[in-house]
Chain A
Amino acid sequence: MTTDATPAFLSVRDLHVRFATEDGTVKAVDGLSFDLERGRTLGIVGESGSGKSVTNLTVLGLHDPRTTTVTGEIHLDGQELTRAPERTLERLRGNTMAMIFQDPLTALSPYYTVGRQIAEPYRKHTGASKRDARLRAVEMLEKVGIPNPRLRVDDYPHQFSGGMRQRAMIAMALVCDPDLLIADEPTTALDVTVQAQILDLLKDLQQEFGSAIILITHDLGVVANTADDLLVMYAGRAVERGTVREVLRAPRHPYTWGLLSSMPRLSSAVDEPLSPIPGTPPSLLAPPPGCPFHPRCGYTAEVGGERCRGERPTLPDGRGAACHLGTERTRTLFTEQIKPRLG
């Protein structure tokens, strides 16, 4: 995490995203900061509604401006995005920054051929001719491992299998060699065997293009194999960050412990129940005061409940967790109580 004068390639600073709904204001993202350099992969994990997808839609400027208020700063390669005009964002989207969506069935238009959908952003951003864009689409399909790309380029998405659709989606996102690639749960809708292939493909393509990747997921297994850095989000806030190795080896936030404990593992006995995190994610209409995790946290007594309820813990830059327990106490708790359970 860079704190010196030159900002990171992607730098998000104190981002707040609020939606106006009939029931009130939803604080979907509440003071989020992170950095990402080229060639690195940042995993963002958290439960549904933790603000991970919203954050990334905001980076691309795909939120609905009628209902959404965005404050804070997003710098991409030195350019500020939250206040950038729509024309600028249009020029960047699909070109400098691209996104892969979760469900390739609904995320591709059923009405146009795969080839056309891949060629479209290429033509728009490079001014290539129809013929060149088509050749480029074939080339991209080949690159993402679609057999017979010359024939398949004229297929419609419904003629593709789920895994092939996600490959096509990736081809579409990478057609203009973006510097930033955001993958929002890219493997959730796929078979387990296909998941691994897609993740490998992403890694290979990153090697080739040197893009920065944000990988949004709720699956720590996916992150462990693919990401360099990790950001754990809860209730619109980052609660823990570090390299993947650091966070998975020695997690410092009780919420991360919960995520790890709730994962099924092969080594556990068949009849051993999973240990889910008690309670439900808080309502973002009225998030709990203090630490947003305190109503579900089993360790508030360690610091005296008052502090957790009243004071919002801050997340330091670099390796750290937003928790009142403090680094030393969490380390001891993890090694003594949590680690033995994880086996």
Chain B
Amino acid sequence: MLRFLARRSLGAIVILLLISAITFFLFFALPAEPARLACGKSCDPTSLAIINKNLGLDEPVPVQYAKFMAGIVAGRDFAVGHCDAPCFGYSFVSQEPVWGTIVDRFPTTLSLALGGAAVFLVCGIGIGMVAAWRRGTWIDKLFSSLSLLGASLQIYFVGVLCLAWFVSGLGIMDQPAYYPFTDNPAKWFSGMLLPWLVLSLIFMANYSRMTRSQMVEQLQEDHVRTARAKGLSGRTVFFRYAWRGAIAPIVTIFGIDLGSLFGGAMVTEYTFTLHGIGRLAVESVQLTDLPMLMGVMLVSAAAIVMFNILVDAAYAVIDPRVRLA
């Protein structure tokens, strides 16, 4: 297990390096000059050159990249003073340290993703289990049709409808907002509840359908029949033998979905006017804010890569035939 984690962490670093390089060099292909934006309307070549020098944009791109990456590991000295590692530099736009902004925004996205995931995992798998247990009955058919409906919905559509109905109209739910969990767990919960439910509605369908089909498949397996031949009760066979075999593919899909929760965070955050990493990413592209964009990209990518490693490790725990090494 340790060897596996070490190897995967090395792989993750390579991936993150690639992502950072691609982001950095693509940025300079953008038809925009960050210095000119900072310079304002009455801009002359002298002040433009000063700004370029202050932002470090006067150096060749590879040198800029190397300095940037070195800053993340070892910290970096700027005209305004020393920036401690992990240093992603200062925002071109707000002049604030990038790392501070990310630390500020990241909990929103994380709460959104993990809370939503918890809700849709529990509901989706639960519904799938009920459908598999009662397969062929009206409950099963009802759930199947509903999950097909759920899977075809989009956040920006359902989200806006729910906001209009439950928040503005009926007023039975709070306007989505982020309150730090450590300050007030109850407010954190009520502020996140609507986005979680909407996310769940959309993601849940996959899980209930997957759980149902996996369970039905597992129930046909020879080893499940053996368990019944041993005299184990239907419930034990269902929850211990069939379920154990059904988890692995669900975990795989969950790893992918966690990625898309981060990757697709901007849609959710814009829908519910939340200020997380996704919104930050869009804003930094619009404002050609290179350090901020780099910070957002690397932190989200690191989160996704880390979740994938965890999912693979979980795989080995679930299925003893999977050898990690």
Q: List the interface of chain A (C-beta within 8 A of B).
A: 60, 62, 66, 86, 90-95, 98-99, 101, 103, 106-112, 120-121, 124-125, 156, 158, 169, 172
A169-B222 Cα distance, complex, nearest whole Å:
12
Give CA–CA (A66, B134) in the complex, Å.
Answer: 12
**Quick one: given A109-B244, A110-B320, A111-B319, are A62 and B228 in contact (CB under 8 Å)?**
yes
List 16 additional contacts besides A111-B245, A111-B318, A124-B232; criterion CB under 8 Å: A60-B229, A90-B231, A92-B231, A93-B230, A93-B231, A94-B231, A94-B232, A101-B225, A106-B222, A106-B223, A109-B224, A110-B245, A111-B241, A111-B244, A120-B232, A121-B232
Expressed in whole angstroms, the Cα–Cα distance for A91 and B244 within the complex equals 24
Measured between beta carbons, the chain B residues less than 8 angstroms from A172 are 226, 230
Q: Are B231 and A91 in contact (CB under 8 A)?
A: yes
A107 contacts which chain B residues (CB < 8 A)?
Answer: 222-223, 225-226
Nearest Cβ on chain B to A57's Cβ, whole angstroms: 8
**Interchain CB contact (< 8 A) of A109 among B136, B226, B233:** B226
Does B231 lie within 8 Å of A95, measured CB to CB?
yes
Q: Which 7 interchain pairs have the tightest Cβ spacing? A: A94-B231, A94-B230, A93-B231, A106-B222, A121-B230, A109-B223, A111-B244
Most A C-beta atoms less than 10 A away, residue of B231, B244, B318 = B231
The CA-CA distance from A94 to B230 in the complex, in Å, is 4
Interface string of B212-237 (1 = CB under 8 A from A): 00000000011111111111111000
CB-CB under 8 A from A95, the residues of chain B are: 231
Q: Which residues of B contact A92 (CB under 8 A)?
A: 231
Using CB atoms, name the residue of chain B closest to A105.
Answer: B222
Q: How far is the CA of A60 from the CA of B231 in the complex (A)?
A: 10
**Is B41 an interface residue, CB under 8 A from the partner?**
no
Closest residue of chain B to A108 (Cβ to Cβ) is B223
Q: Which A residue's beta carbon lies closest to that of B318?
A: A111
Q: Does B3 sit at the interface, judged by CB under 8 A?
A: no
From B222, B223, B225, B230, contact of A120 by CB (8 A): B230
With a CB–CB cut-off of 8 A, which chain B residues contact A110?
A: 223, 245, 319-321
| Most chain B CB neighbours (cut-off 10 Å) among A99, A109, A169 | A109
Interface residues, chain B, with chain A CB atoms under 8 Å away: 136, 221-234, 241, 244-245, 318-321
* Residue numbers in A under 8 Å from B318 (CB-CB): 111
CB distance from B314 to the nearest CB of A (A): 14
Chain B residues with Cβ below 8 Å from A60 are 229
Q: Judge whether B321 and A158 touch: CB under 8 Å.
A: yes
Query: Which residue of the partner chain B has the closest CB to A121?
Result: B230
Given contacts A107-B222, A156-B321, contact A94 B136 (CB under 8 A): no
Q: Which of B136, B226, B228, B234 contacts A108 (CB 8 A)?
A: B226
Closest-by-CB residue of A relative to B225 is A62
B221 and A124 contacting across the interface, CB-CB below 8 Å? no
A109 to B231 Cα, complex, angstroms: 15
- Point out the residues of chain B lying under 8 angstroms from A90, CB to CB: 231-233
Q: How far apart are the CA atoms of A112 and B225 in the complex, in Å?
A: 15
Q: Are B223 and A94 in contact (CB under 8 A)?
A: no
**Looking across the interface, which residue of chain B has its beta carbon closest to that of A122?**
B230
Closest to A102 in B: B222
The answer to whether B320 touches A158, judged by C-beta atoms less than 8 angstroms apart, is: yes
Q: How far is the CA of A120 from the CA of B245 in the complex (A)?
A: 18
Most interface-central of B223, B227, B229, B245 (chain A CB within 10 A): B229
Contact partner of B229 (CB less than 8 A), chosen from A99, A106, A109, A158, is: A99
Chain B residues positioned under 8 Å from A101 (CB to CB) = 222, 225-226, 229
Assess A121 versus B244: contact at CB under 8 Å? Given A106-B222, A156-B321, A158-B320.
Answer: no
CA distance A110 to B222 in the complex (A): 11
Name the residue of chain B whose CB is nearest to the CB of A125: B231
- Counting chain B CB atoms within 10 Å of each CB, which of A95, A110, A111, A125 scores highest? A111
How distant is the Cα of A264 from the Cα of B319 in the complex, in angstroms? 42
Whether B320 contacts A156 by the Cβ 8 Å rule is yes
Write the chain B residue with the least CB distance to A57.
Answer: B225
* Interfacial chain B residues near A158, Cβ < 8 Å: 320-321
Q: From residue A238, how far is it (CB to closest CB) to chain B in Å?
A: 24
CB–CB A98/B223 < 8 A: no
Residues of A within 8 A of B225 (CB): 62, 101, 107
Cβ distance B220 to chain A, nearest Cβ, rounded Å: 9
CB contacts (< 8 Å) of A91 on chain B: these are 231
